[in-house]
Amino acid sequence: LQRMLSIAVEVDKSPNCSSCKIADVIFPFILNIPLRSQREAFLNTMESQLLRCKLLEQLFQHSCNMPTTLPLSLAKILHFLSHSSVLLQYQNETATWQRWDEMLQYLSLLLMSYQNVLLVFPLAEHLRSSLNDRMDLIIQKAKPKLQDGDDISHLDIQLKIEDFISRMQEVLGQPFPLQMMEKLCMLR
């Protein structure tokens, strides 16, 4: 399935457009996966980083108490940290902190996927370009193009993380769990 989804993204002239269409179709099914382990297995095994970005972006947009129209960028990921709630309905009695832990896990996955799509590859918008355009970009040795929202400071990150920690302590009514603190440090 993951290979077929990856090929479906790649065969379109605009992988960005096809990944949006595929994500729109898959998203309702993600919402109905009952177990965290099953959701994580599906998202972690995705071969298409671009499709994973689109799915996670939709997931966070769905859970955001203050939706945003920003394009996917580091600023949008920070926005999700500040304004997302527990992502999914749970079939079992999962502790509240574990639900937030899952949200942090997916936020880290979104950040890593976004970096793979845009920042890690040596040519501009590598995975957002068609296969033919990629060859031209390789020949031109094009530099990565960053989004406007990718220019964030360490202070922005620190303030959003401190805000998240205080919000979580208020929601949980207890000290911040160590497991969540580790995920937050990794995200930072």
Contacts with 4 (C-beta within 8 Å, 6 or more apart), sequence order: none
pLDDT, tens only, 7-22? 777 776 777 788 888 8
Instruction: Judge whether 32 lies within some domain.
Output: yes
If you count them, how many residues does the chain have?
188
- Domain residue limits at 81: 1-152
Mean pLDDT of 35-44: 91
Instruction: Judge whether 18 lies within some domain.
Output: yes
Whether residue 84 is predicted with pLDDT greater than 90 in this model: the reply is: no
Whether residue 57 is predicted with pLDDT greater than 90 in this model: the reply is: yes
What whole-number distance in Å separates Cα of residue 136 and Cα of residue 120?
Answer: 18
Q: Which of 111, 104, 112, 55 is nearest to 84 (CA)?
A: 104
What whole-number distance in Å separates Cα of residue 182 and Cα of residue 174?
Answer: 17
- Label residue 145 by pLDDT band (50, 70, 90): low
User: What backbone phi and psi angles, to 5 degrees, belong to 72?
Assistant: -60, 125
Instruction: Judge whether 65 lies within some domain.
Output: yes
Alpha helices in the chain (DSSP H): 2-11, 15-31, 36-44, 49-63, 74-83, 96-114, 131-140, 154-172, 178-187
Mean pLDDT of 161-168: 87
Partners of 64 in the β-ladder: 84
Element (H, E) at 121: none
Q: Please state the pTM of the whole predicted model.
A: 0.80
What share of the chain has pLDDT > 70, as a percent? 79
3-class SS of residue 127: helix
Encoded tokens for 175? 């000290």
Instruction: Judge whether 188 lies within some domain.
Output: no
Instruction: Judge whether 158 lies within some domain.
Output: no
Give the pLDDT score at 26.
92
Burial state string for 53-62 with b = 16 or more CB within 10 A and e = fewer than 16: bbbbbbbbbe
Instruction: Judge whether 186 lies within some domain.
Output: no
Instruction: Judge whether 19 lies within some domain.
Output: yes
Our measurement of the distance from residue 38's CA atom to the centroid of its chain's CA atoms, rounded to an integer in Å, reads 17
Q: State how many domains the chain has.
A: 1
- Label residue 90 by pLDDT band (50, 70, 90): low
More confident residue, 167 or 58: 58
pLDDT, tens only, 91-138? 455 677 888 888 899 999 999 998 888 754 444 344 555 556 655 655
pLDDT, tens only, 62-81? 888 888 888 888 889 999 98
Instruction: Judge whether 67 lies within some domain.
Output: yes
